[in-house]
Amino acid sequence: MTESAPQAYTVTQLTQKIKARIEQMGRVWLTGEISGYTSHSSGHAYLTLKDEENQISALIWRNTAKNLDFNLRNGQQVFVSAEMAIYGPQSKYQVIIQTIELRGSGALQVAFEKLKQRLKKEGLFSIERKRKLPYLPRRIAVVTSPTGAAVKDILNVIDRRFPLVEIYVIPARVQGDGSAQQVAAAIRFVNSEPQLNIDVMIVGRGGGSPEDLWAFNEEPVAYAIFESKIPIISAVGHEVDFTISDLVADKRALTPTEAGELVLPRLDLLKDQLRYLENRLKKAMDNRLEMAKAKLMRLGSHRALTKPMERVRYSEQRLHILFQKMKSMTDRNINRKQHQLTRMHGQLVAKEPTKKIDFYSQRFKEFSGRMERAMAKRCEWEQRRVKNIAAHLEALSPLAVISRGYSITYNHGGKIVQDAEDVNVGEHMWTRLANTWIRSRIEKTGTKSITNTTPKE
């Protein structure tokens, strides 16, 4: 290289230089349409933002993506804040999205879902609170734009089906800023004017874009319908359009034309039904009259009317028979009761207490005499037995033995002496004779082999 040759960059050096310049831009704000949206398993999201002429790659980190309260999909218009970045290996520039907001119909759909969930929790969509529409209202109020096609459709249908009712058109702006407040005010006005005596109310408008119908997705209209004392039919847009007012109202009509059909029956069909019911009533009355005539004829030919005395005589005869039958039964009952009374009297006499007392008194005397004799014999026997025992005891008594010349000796402890081992030399002992006592002191004891009656020294 010569000194005049230009400085050459490597690809990496150039990429780093561009990266430093681009990232100096800081945060940028972009609007565009989402395409090529992909949600990676790691939680990051990859997409492309494009407009009519150009596109740019974008990345949403996992922490940002998981905090979104709506789902992203291709075709949505969004407004984002992002930071510029360069992906080095491919020298590709992209934006790192920090915040993202929906624009256009997507934003409206998110707002619709949020309000729908909140009002559902508050009970505004509860089936239990919805009222039944009156079958044949006399006065109908229509809350809509007085110049729109919807009011013409409703009036034409009602005039064709049932032209006899009164219709009050309550004008309200149904599109643009402040339209929701005007619709809600009109609903409350109808409820606050009792002199109108409205039976049912139709609230709605013709078809349009979601932005055109948005007034019927706002809180003021929802709460006004919920608080209404008059039943309300919601008729907004076409069949594919679905609004918050449809969910809160007592009845949803797919179109304003169908609202006119729901609110009233067809007069010609009602007349046909009335004629049918009139014919049925006439036939029923004719049948009832014929039945009454036939019954009257049967009653007129009855024997009770043609021969009244025969009925009286028959009743007298039957009364006589019943009287004789009752008298016979009464006599039998009296005889049976008298027989029972006689039998019970005989039983009572047989069980007279005085006789039983005499009987048991005599038995008591007999038993008393027998007991006294038995006691005397027993006492005499016991006395003889005691004498025999006493004589036997006397013969066995030691005192009797002592009286024949014997004695009993007790040691110092009061125990009868039966052996020389029972006493000790030098101790005193007592000897009992027949009529006296002798106290002596032991000086010597002998052996057990005593052969003589007198011990030796």
In a domain, 148, yes or no: yes
Write the CATH number for 95.
2.40.50.140
| pLDDT at 50 (0 to 100) | 86
| pLDDT at 304 (0 to 100) | 65
In a domain, 389, yes or no: no
Alpha-carbon torsion, ordered 155, 156, 159, 162, to 10 deg: -90
Nearest by Cα to 183 from 138, 123, 242, 245 = 245
Write the CATH number for 240.
3.40.50.261
Band (1; pLDDT cuts 50, 70, 90): very low
In a domain, 289, yes or no: yes
Same-domain pairing of 217 and 286? no
Asked if residue 428 has pLDDT above 70, the reply is yes
Show the DSSP H helices in 254-352 as ranges: 256-263, 267-300, 303-306, 308-350
Same-domain pairing of 71 and 181? no
In a domain, 208, yes or no: yes
Asked if residue 270 has pLDDT above 80, the reply is yes
- Asked which of 217, 240, 265 is the last residue of a domain, the reply is 265
In a domain, 341, yes or no: no
Q: Which residue range(s) make up the domain with 79?
A: 11-103
Asked if residue 16 has pLDDT above 50, the reply is yes
Same-domain pairing of 132 and 237? yes
Band (271; pLDDT cuts 50, 70, 90): confident
Same-domain pairing of 259 and 128? yes
| pLDDT at 434 (0 to 100) | 74
- Residue that wins the pLDDT comparison between 422 and 259: 259
Using one digit for the tens of pLDDT, what is the confidence trace for 208-253?
877 788 899 999 999 999 999 999 999 998 887 788 999 999 999 9
Per-residue CA distances from 174 to 6, 143, 193, 207, 249 (Å):
70, 9, 22, 11, 17
Same-domain pairing of 209 and 284? no
| pLDDT at 223 (0 to 100) | 93
Question: How far apart are alpha carbons 17 and 148 in whole angstroms?
Answer: 62
Using one digit for the tens of pLDDT, what is the confidence trace for 288-331?
999 998 888 887 776 666 677 777 777 888 888 998 899 899 98
Number of domains in the chain: 4
Same-domain pairing of 180 and 220? yes
| pLDDT at 208 (0 to 100) | 82
| pLDDT at 221 (0 to 100) | 93
Using one digit for the tens of pLDDT, what is the confidence trace for 33-86?
888 888 888 888 888 888 877 888 889 988 888 888 777 878 778 888 888 887
Per-residue CA distances from 28 to 20, 25, 82, 104, 123 (Å):
16, 8, 5, 21, 43
In a domain, 343, yes or no: no
- Asked which of 54, 71, 103 is the last residue of a domain, the reply is 103
Same-domain pairing of 134 and 216? yes
In a domain, 2, yes or no: no
In a domain, 114, yes or no: no
Same-domain pairing of 160 and 248? yes
- Report phi then psi at 295, rounded to 5: -65, -40
pTM reported for the whole predicted model: 0.47
Asked if residue 93 has pLDDT above 50, the reply is yes
Q: Which amino acid is at 356?
A: K
Cβ count near 401 (within 10 Å) = 14
Same-domain pairing of 239 and 174? yes
Asked if residue 447 has pLDDT above 70, the reply is no
Same-domain pairing of 289 and 227? no
Same-domain pairing of 204 and 152? yes
| pLDDT at 5 (0 to 100) | 62
Same-domain pairing of 162 and 84? no
Say which range, 40-54, 97-111, 160-174, has the weakest mean pLDDT. Answer: 97-111
Which residues face 81 on adjacent strands?
A: 29, 99
Place of tokens 């007129």: 300
